[in-house]
Amino acid sequence: MKNTKIEYHAAGGAVRDLLLGRRRRDVDYLCLGNESDFIHSNPGARKIEKGNASLYLVKGQEYALLDAPEDERESLLEKDISRRDFTINAMLLSSDGLVRSHPDSFEDLRQGVIRPVSSSALFDDPIRVLRAARLSAELPGF
């Protein structure tokens, strides 16, 4: 999907799986831009409520929309990365092929390490402990 007003980034596990050469089950997207431009670019988008985030379903895929003026987009991308669960999932892939990631993401992928993004990541969302166990079972060598 191309639109000069909306920036699309594949997010999280989809980027991890791509870098590991694994088949991606689903792709979640982080989008930067305003809602009217997003709806115009994705006429079948259906808004779903999930906390205070603007989430949309488009043809079965999830798009998180951050209403962001162009001068704030870089800082919002960095903030999104810092809020993710594990370093191996703290990655964004832009439509032009640029990967943004946590500083430890690539080394942890190489070493097979499942590491929380921050010291508070597991306290912020205790379900992440179960996600770590699932990742350990699904990713050989981790």
SS3 89: helix
pLDDT at 3 over 50: no
Average pLDDT, the chain: 91
* pLDDT (mean) for 81-87: 96
Q: Confidence class of residue 4 from pLDDT cuts 50, 70 and 90?
A: low
Q: How many CB atoms are closer than 10 A to CB 67?
A: 15
Question: What phi and psi, each to the nearest 5 degrees, are found at residue 94?
Answer: -75, 165
pTM, 2 dp: 0.86
Question: CA–CA separation, 71 vs 51, rounded Å?
Answer: 25
* pLDDT (mean) for 114-135: 96
